[in-house]
């Protein structure tokens, strides 16, 4: 029987396949001996975790939405029954007392026994119930250990597999290969979280912020993932399945049509030339950039070279990576951002995660606080600049003092290379990202020191609206159309023009069709986005007349009522 779940669609496309639940590290529990005098406390700890889980399941049953199917009810009842079964609620207690082991271990051993005996059942239905036992035990173990979940590294089913996880970190996600999963679903996350951005990079439909998908979906369930609408249909009936297969074919057809635009110039109907650049995370993404017909790379998030490894890349390794990208682009511009580590992108070597990482030592702040790391990267970048058309982009500048400090630092590294006789592009352009409202507002005070600007709307919106971009609880408040955001965008685009500094947008907004005309109307002429989105944006540019959208854009900018803003935006996007 079928039911549906709704989340935030972050990477488009339709996927049909079987669920694979990301395993939880909670199942890798430690085993230790508990001293005799603490046995009673250990049993009490076990009982408390059981009680909390019982409470959690009961609340889940009470709070499930009106539309939720009877199956969800039945499934929650089943989990409560399993929890209260003496094999789960009593046997581990006895084992703690008898063997003086920790509660997690007792529960895990008992779970393994049960799973083994379930496997012996001839009846397929009963055999499948072992997944329920595992889920219930995982829930209790989570209470006992409070450990986070981890993404699996390989699909386990034949055919098309859909990853269902509570959460996946960007670092885990870049380890997946394109096509390894045909869709990715997570309970946590917002539309511009880096997890979502990487999923787009994998060209894989992705829905985040599903809240309870990991609990409600079972291993091997048949799923339809609608990456356009953010809908998941679990165990769909034949008719729905046929409809979505048709939709999948249509999407493929639309993609094929778009491919014909690859070589076309992105000019508006009135003949204004627009630059459409690509965002990349790793040198391997170059193939996608080529496919997209991008006229350059507007953002290379170099920090991804630093993730998933114990030793950070040295100067030569970085140099090779940067050189490969600039040479691979054959003279087209390549904008490499100095590492934006911190927040949700922590290298393995990070000593501690800040209390409030998005507001902590991140991006240029970290670079300036770790001069050795920054110097190594700058040396590698400058050396690679000799081999192509490279620009350097500095993330999260907050104002004049930081800009000065950064430019001085870069000059210092240049002098070092001069002294060593190393070749580099002496005229290399240094740009800054506008991601902090203070920087947007005080643009006049420092932008003229830079060769170009790039607006990071993901962070600019996060910091303007005080909404953690990774937190699904506040994802609905993340709004590029908020009047404050629009005013800041207009202010930066106008300001840059007045100062005479080129400006682009490289946040997710640049790749969203709904905002293409709005951004053009605000005066933007350079967009940088995920390569998979570029041809659709190009099509929109080709069908836009700047004189025709001017008045409506101004109306959007002046409107105060969010409903009006949306109404005007819809009009702007018609035809």
Q: How many residues does the chain have?
A: 575
Site for ligand PEP in 266-305 (CB under 6 A): 299, 301
Tokens of 193: 């979280």
Site for ligand PEP in 209-268 (CB under 6 A): none
Which of residues 110, 135, 457, 516 is near ligand PEP by CB under 6 A? 457
Task: In whole angstroms, give the CA distance from residue 346 to residue 34.
Answer: 35
Tokens of 340: 């934006």
Q: Where in 338-460 does DSSP place strands (E)? A: 390-394, 429-434, 452-455
Contact status, residue 162 vs residue 225, Cβ threshold 8 Å: yes
Nearest distance in Å: CB 435, Mg ion: 5
| CB closer to ligand PEP out of 43 and 509 | 509
Closest CA to 541 of 257, 266, 276, 265: 266
Task: In whole angstroms, give the CA distance from residue 97 to residue 112.
Answer: 19
Task: In whole angstroms, give the CA distance from residue 148 to residue 377.
Answer: 32
DSSP-assigned letter for residue 312: P
Angle in degrees, 0-180, between the axes of helices 513-521 and 562-573, rounded to the nearest 10: 90
Q: How many residues bind Mg ion (CB under 5 A)?
A: 3
Encode burial over 73-88: b for 16+ CB neighbours within 10 A, e otherwise.
eebbeebbebbeeeeb
Q: How many residues bind ligand PEP (CB under 6 A)?
A: 10
Q: Any contact of residue 340 with ligand PEP (CB under 6 A)? A: yes
385 binding partner (options ligand PEP, Mg ion, none; Cβ < 5 to 8 Å by kind) = none
Which of residues 227, 298, 456, 521 is near ligand PEP by CB under 6 A? 456
93 binding partner (options Mg ion, ligand PEP, none; Cβ < 5 to 8 Å by kind) = none
Residues 504-543, one symbol each (x = binds ligand PEP by CB under 6 A, - = not), give --xx------------------------------------
| CB closer to ligand PEP out of 480 and 521 | 480
| CB closer to ligand PEP out of 299 and 397 | 299
Which of residues 186, 458, 464, 539 is near ligand PEP by CB under 6 A? 458
| CB closer to ligand PEP out of 17 and 495 | 495
Nearest distance in Å: CB 452, ligand PEP: 14
Contact status, residue 232 vs residue 225, Cβ threshold 8 Å: yes
From 166, 367, 506, 530, the catalytic residue:
506
| CB closer to ligand PEP out of 135 and 516 | 516
Q: Which stretch binds ligand PEP (CB under 6 A): 89-97, 146-154, 318-326, 457-465?
A: 457-465
From 18, 24, 194, 530, the catalytic residue:
194
How many Cα atoms are found within 13 Å in the side-chain-facing hemisphere of 218? Answer: 19
Q: Parallel, antiparallel, or unpaired: how do β-strands 183-186 and 297-301 relate? A: unpaired
| CB closer to ligand PEP out of 506 and 556 | 506
| CB closer to ligand PEP out of 235 and 508 | 508
Q: Which stretch binds ligand PEP (CB under 6 A): 82-90, 168-176, 181-189, 456-464?
A: 456-464
Which of residues 138, 187, 285, 435 is near ligand PEP by CB under 6 A? 435
Site for Mg ion in 430-459 (CB under 5 A): 435, 456, 459
Task: In whole angstroms, give the CA distance from residue 416 to residue 433.
Answer: 26
Nearest distance in Å: CB 301, ligand PEP: 5
506 binding partner (options Mg ion, ligand PEP, none; Cβ < 5 to 8 Å by kind) = ligand PEP
Q: Is 506 a catalytic residue?
A: yes
DSSP 3-state of 373: helix
SS (H, E, C) 126-154: HHHCHHHHHHHHHHHHHHHHCCCECCCCC
Dihedral, 333, 339, 340, 342 alpha carbons, nearest 10:
170
Contact status, residue 282 vs residue 305, Cβ threshold 8 Å: yes
* Residues with a known catalytic role: 194, 506
**Interface with Mg ion (CB under 5 A):** 435, 456, 459
- Given the rule CB under 6 A, which residues bind ligand PEP? 299, 301, 340, 435, 456-459, 506-507
């Amino acid at each position: 029987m079928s039911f549906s779940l709704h989340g935030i669609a972050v990477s488009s496309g339709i996927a049909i396949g079987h669920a694979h639940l990301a395993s939880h590290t909670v199942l890798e529990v430690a085993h230790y001996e508990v001293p005799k005098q603490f046995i009673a406390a250990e049993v009490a700890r076990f009982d408390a975790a059981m009680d909390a889980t019982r409470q959690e399941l009961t609340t889940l049953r009470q709070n499930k939405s009106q539309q939720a199917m009877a199956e969800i009810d039945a499934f929650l009842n089943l989990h409560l029954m399993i929890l209260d079964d003496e094999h789960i609620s009593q046997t581990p207690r006895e084992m703690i007392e008898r063997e003086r082991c920790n509660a997690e271990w007792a529960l895990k051993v008992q779970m393994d026994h049960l799973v083994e005996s379930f496997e012996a059942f001839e009846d397929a239905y009963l055999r499948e119930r072992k997944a329920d036992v595992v889920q219930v035990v995982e829930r209790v173990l989570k209470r006992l250990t409070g450990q986070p979940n981890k993404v699996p590294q390989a699909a386990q089913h034949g055919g098309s597999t859909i990853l269902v996880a509570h959460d996946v970190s960007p670092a885990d996600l870049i380890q997946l290969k394109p096509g390894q999963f045909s869709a990715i679903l997570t309970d946590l996350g917002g539309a511009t979280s880096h997890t979502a951005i990487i999923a787009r990079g994998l060209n894989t439909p992705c829905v985040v912020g599903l809240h309870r998908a990991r609990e409600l979906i079972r291993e091997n369930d048949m799923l339809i993932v609608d990456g356009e609408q953010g809908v998941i249909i679990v165990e769909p009936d034949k008719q729905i399945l046929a409809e979505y297969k048709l939709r999948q074919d249509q999407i493929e057809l639309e993609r094929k049509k778009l491919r014909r635009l690859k070589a076309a110039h992105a000019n508006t109907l009135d003949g204004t030339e627009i630059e459409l650049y690509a965002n990349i995370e790793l040198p391997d993404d170059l193939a996608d950039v080529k496919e997209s017909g991008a006229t350059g790379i507007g953002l290379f998030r170099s920090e991804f070279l630093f993730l998933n490894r114990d030793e950070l890349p040295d100067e030569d390794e970085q140099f090779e990576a940067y050189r490969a990208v600039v040479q691979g682009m054959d003279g087209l511009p390549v904008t490499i951002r100095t590492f934006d580590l911190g927040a949700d992108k922590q290298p393995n070597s990070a000593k501690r995660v800040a209390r409030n990482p998005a507001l902590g030592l991140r991006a240029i702040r970290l670079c300036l606080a770790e001069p050795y790391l920054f110097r190594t990267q700058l040396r590698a970048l400058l050396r690679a600049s000799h081999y192509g058309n490279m620009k350097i982009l500095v993330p999260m500048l907050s104002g004049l003092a930081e800009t000065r400090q950064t430019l001085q630092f870069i000059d210092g590294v240049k002098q070092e290379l001069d002294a060593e006789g190393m070749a580099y592009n002496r005229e290399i352009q240094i740009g800054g990202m506008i991601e902090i409202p203070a920087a947007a507002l005080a643009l006049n005070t420092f932008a003229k020191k830079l060769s170009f600007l790039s607006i990071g709307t993901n962070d600019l919106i996060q910091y303007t609206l005080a909404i953690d971009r990774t937190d699904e609880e506040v994802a609905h408040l993340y709004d590029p159309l908020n009047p404050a955001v629009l005013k800041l965008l207009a202010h930066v685009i106008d300001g840059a023009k007045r100062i005479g500094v080129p400006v682009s947008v490289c946040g997710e907004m640049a790749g969203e069709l709904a905002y293409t005309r709005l951004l053009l109307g605000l005066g933007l002429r350079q967009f940088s986005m995920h390569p998979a989105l570029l041809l659709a944006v190009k099509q929109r540019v080709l069908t836009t007349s700047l004189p025709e959208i001017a008045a409506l854009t101004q109306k959007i900018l002046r409107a105060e009522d969010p409903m009006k803003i949306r109404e005007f935006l819809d009009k702007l996007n018609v035809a």
